[in-house]
Amino acid sequence: MLPALFSAKYGVRKHMLFAVVAGLVIVFAFLVLPFPIAKKSSKLTLASTAWNETLGFGKILYISMPYRTDRQDAMDLLASTSNLKVTRINGVDGESISAKAVPDNANLQPSVLGCWRAHADAWRYVIDNDIETALILEDDIDWDENIHQIFHDLSLQMQDNKLRLVMPTDHERKTAPYGLDWDILFMGQCLDHPHPDYRDLVQVYDDPSVPSRESIQQEFLHYMESLGVTGDDVGKKRLVSPAYGPACTMGYAITRQGAQRLLLNLSYLGLRGPVDNDIAWTLQDGKIRGYSLTPPVFAAWRVGGQKDSDIDGKYDPNKPISENGNRGGESKNLKSSARVAMLQHLALDNWGDYKRQRLEASNNADDD
Ligand SMILES: *[C@@H]1O[C@H](CO)[C@@H](O)[C@H](O)[C@H]1NC(C)=O
Ligand SMILES: CC(=O)N[C@H]1CO[C@H](CO)[C@@H](O)[C@@H]1O
């Protein structure tokens, strides 16, 4: 009996000891692990959505004229080699737009109107499909092969963004890797200039995928300089700053509210010029809130010749259609072009591989 009694007593003590230790651990956890650690890890969790197929956005849309099947092949191929999923929005032939459907006071060439219409369709898609944020791309672009890492780093900045006017809501902290405090985020502009009174509003951060100074176009070097990024920082830092005069619509993100504001000011109320000009004017009027990323992360892919533009859909048979071809194409402001990387990733030397295998086998046979 004695041993049993002893072990029962010992068992009670063991349970008590366990309870005390567990209690201490819980108290310790509450005292010593306050919010910053939890916050940091939830920021990282949210940023990690940049590794998903839509870069942490609700959708990636791209605009392409229905007849540019060559560009659609290229976009789907490029996206697949970067583990991205893109959804096409059809480009619009301006001639097909009824005079009644043209916004008030828009006195524009059909091709310019068609370009506006395609973007307006993308904004509508965002609203109709209840998408919180979408990336909108044109079909002739390139990006860096480390695009997921670039957006992961951007997310950490945007979640903790000093350009914000109000603290992020719980909903934003949970679901919005880039925040929801903006209407439009320019990432493929061909130039921008800062608001003269707000040059202090800039978030500067390290990004190992920023190209060297030699690969950055003058307009962006000037832009960075006017915001105080000079010397050795050029080629190392990326900037988030308020968009004020961006041109080109190659790559930008919008929030649902951004889509509403764009449709309001650039359709319902009228249209004052080409879509990118009117977005810039609306930013200058202060009627939408936008940020720009500099250097931009989306760039035009250029092959030379008529393939580079879809302005009126027609082509001149007496002029070159493509001068350099995709192998000789180029894009600017990128450190490591995904289009160039794609050629290497998919390169194969099938018969060479068989030949090497055979050689190896016969060498091994000789050794035996
Ligand atoms: C990627 O993450 C975002 C943010 O969480 C989400 O809205 C989107 O649906 C995700 N995309 C995919 C393809 O899962
Ligand atoms: C086309 C159009 O009417 N745009 C308007 C957008 O909003 C600003 C500010 O309200 C107006 O000045 C523009 O005319």
Rounded to an integer, what distance in angstroms lies between the CA atom of residue 62 and that of residue 130?
17
Test site for ligand 2: of 264, 265, 288, most ligand atoms within 8 A of the Cβ:
265
Q: Which ligand is closest to the CA of 263, given by its number?
A: 2
Tokens of 314: 């027609």
Residue with tokens 């992961």: 152
Q: Which domains does the chain have, with CATH numbers?
A: 42-344 (3.90.550)
Establish whether residue 270 lines the binding site of ligand 2, counting it when its CB lies within 6 angstroms of any ligand atom.
yes
Which residues are CB-neighbours of 88 under 8 A, at least 6 positions away? 61, 62, 63, 64, 72, 75
pLDDT at 328: 85
Q: Over 60: is that where the pLDDT of 28 sits?
A: no
Ligand 1 pocket, mutate which of 54, 172, 255 (most atoms under 8 A from CB): 54
Supply the pLDDT for residue 324: 77
pLDDT for 276 beyond 90: yes
Residues 6+ apart with CB under 8 A from 349: none
Please indicate whether residue 267, judged by its CB atom, sits closer than 6 Å to ligand 2: no
pLDDT at 34: 46
Residue 265 beta carbon below 6 angstroms from any ligand 2 atom? yes
Closest atom of ligand 2 to CA, residue 266: 1
- Test site for ligand 1: of 43, 51, 57, 129, most ligand atoms within 8 A of the Cβ: 57
pLDDT in tens, 308-338: 887 766 778 888 887 778 888 899 999 999 9
Q: How much is the pLDDT for 5?
A: 43
337-353 residue pLDDT tens: 999 999 999 999 999 99
Ligand 2 mean position, distance from CA 280 (Å): 12
pLDDT the model gives residue 315: 76
CA of 180 to the centre of ligand 1 (A): 15
Residue 250: closest CA among 208, 309, 207, 173: 309
Q: Is 145 helix (H, G, I), strand (E, B) or coil?
A: coil
Rounded mean pLDDT, 124-143 = 97
Q: Is the pLDDT of residue 178 over 70?
A: yes
Which tops the pLDDT comparison, 279 or 311? 279
pLDDT at 12: 52
**pLDDT tens digits, one per residue of 48-99:** 999 999 999 999 999 999 999 999 999 999 999 999 999 999 999 999 999 9
Look at residues 326, 297, 159, 321 and name the one whose alpha carbon lies nearest to residue 216.
Answer: 297
Which residue has better confidence, 22 or 66? Answer: 66
**DSSP assignment letter at 265:** I
Which residues make Cβ contacts (< 8 Å) with residue 259, sequence separation at least 6?
Answer: 123, 124, 126, 127, 134
Q: How far is CA 89 from the centre of its chain?
A: 17
CA angle 270, 132, 237 (to 5 degrees): 90
List all residues whose CB is within 6 A of at least one atom of ligand 1.
49, 52-54, 56, 58, 175, 177
More confident residue, 196 or 6: 196
Give the Å distance between the CA of 48 and the centre of ligand 1: 10
* Closest ligand, as measured to the CA of 285: 2
User: How crowded is residue 94: how many other Cβ atoms within 10 Å of its Cβ?
Assistant: 20
Residue 3 in this model has a pLDDT that exceeds 50: no
The answer to whether residues 49 and 170 touch, using CB atoms and an 8 Å cutoff, is no
Task: Return mean pLDDT, the chain.
Answer: 91
| Cα three-residue angle 357-341-139, rounded to 5 degrees | 135
